[in-house]
Amino acid sequence: MGIYNTGVLTQNLFINQVTFKHMHKILFALCLLFAATGLKAQKAKQTYMSFCAGCHGANLQGGVASALIKKDWKHGGDRDSLIKTIRDGIPNTTMLSWKAAIPAKDIEAIADFILQAQATEEPKKP
Ligand code: HEC
């Protein structure tokens, strides 16, 4: 019995230690994920500012081109349509195809950035 109890105690301590060790890893992974998500959003905003804000406005409110916070999308406001519009451009307009200038992953990130803005912001006047 004594040996058995010691065994269980040792085993429990061992399990606790293992759980504790992994808890650190899990927390660390969550922090990384959180930081990565934030960085990705920040990067998408920077890319938007460099390439798009000149025509569509710094707050997506529109300028020489239409606003990008709206419901009346001419070419579709869902993720796939946004990606397609940005990637391929719109013929006979100054909306170019951006696929040569912006990597596919970053185009997806800009689409997510635009979608995010629909959910969180009303268009702001400059
Ligand atoms: C030189 C000006 C210019 C720049 C720079 C530009 N666009 Fe456009 N964009 C236009 C024009 C013009 C249209 C078509 C007419 C309109 O919607 O005003 C358009 C249309 C769009 C549409 C479709 C809108 C709809 O109603 O369906 C999206 C989405 C879009 N642009 C995103 C972007 C993104 C993202 C960038 C940056 C990578 C960008 N644009 C850069 C001029 C520009």
pLDDT at 51 over 80: yes
- The CA 66 to ligand 1 mean position distance, Å, reads 7
Residue 125 lies in a domain: no
pLDDT at 36 over 90: no
Three-state DSSP at 7 gives helix
Render pLDDT for 70-110 as a digit per residue (tens, 0 to 9): 999 999 999 999 999 999 999 999 999 999 999 999 999 99
Mean per-residue pLDDT of the chain: 87
Cα dihedral: 39, 43, 45, 49 (round 10): 150
pLDDT bracket for residue 26 (50, 70, 90): confident
Minimal-distance CA residue to ligand 1 atom 30: 86
CATH at 28: 1.10.760.10
Residue 126 lies in a domain: no
What local confidence, expressed as pLDDT, does residue 122 receive?
A: 58
- Whole-angstrom Cα distance, residue 73 to residue 67? 9
Tell me how many domains the chain contains. Answer: 1
pTM for the whole thing?
0.79
Domain that holds residue 83: 2-120
Minimal-distance CA residue to ligand 1 atom 13: 95
